[in-house]
Amino acid sequence: MIYHIRTIKNQDFYDITSIVKKAVTETGIKDGIVMVFVPHTTAGVTINEDADPDVITDIISGLNQTYPVKGQYLHMEGNSHAHLKATLTGSSCTVIIENGSLMLGTWQGIYFCEFDGPRSRSIFVKIIKG
């Protein structure tokens, strides 16, 4: 399944947990795994806390301290910081499905991570019966 998202900020995290849950529900698969893959070199996907929005603000702030938007980068497009952040977060995550539910922790959510927006982005979701 392919989903599309239009990001509105240069850098932001978008909670896509509901998209992934819906994909699992639509397949009817009760046990297995779901893989979420982002086919972009300046965006990523991660699992982190979804209860306090300050966590996401802090993550972006920390990433910007480590990989500032303006730096002594050689890449001509001027988005090296985004490539570094995407490498750190990764382009995929896998979650176990049990009894039709995602086996996420109490405070966990799945996030699409935009580091070079705004852009139109794709999210691939693959569900494998276990």
Q: Which fold has domain 2-129?
A: Jelly Rolls (2.60.120)
- Model confidence band, residue 51 (pLDDT cutoffs 50, 70, 90): very high
> What does the domain layout of the chain look like in residue ranges?
2-129
Whole-number pLDDT of residue 5: 97
Residue 76 has pLDDT above 90, yes or no: no
pLDDT digits (tens, 9 = 90+) for 2-39: 999 999 999 999 999 999 999 999 999 999 999 999 99
Residue 81 has pLDDT above 90, yes or no: yes
Closest CA to 20 of 7, 8, 6, 32: 32
Mean pLDDT of 58-71: 96
What interhelical angle do 80-89 and 53-66 show, nearest 10? 120
Residue 130 has pLDDT above 90, yes or no: no
How much is the mean pLDDT over the chain?
A: 96
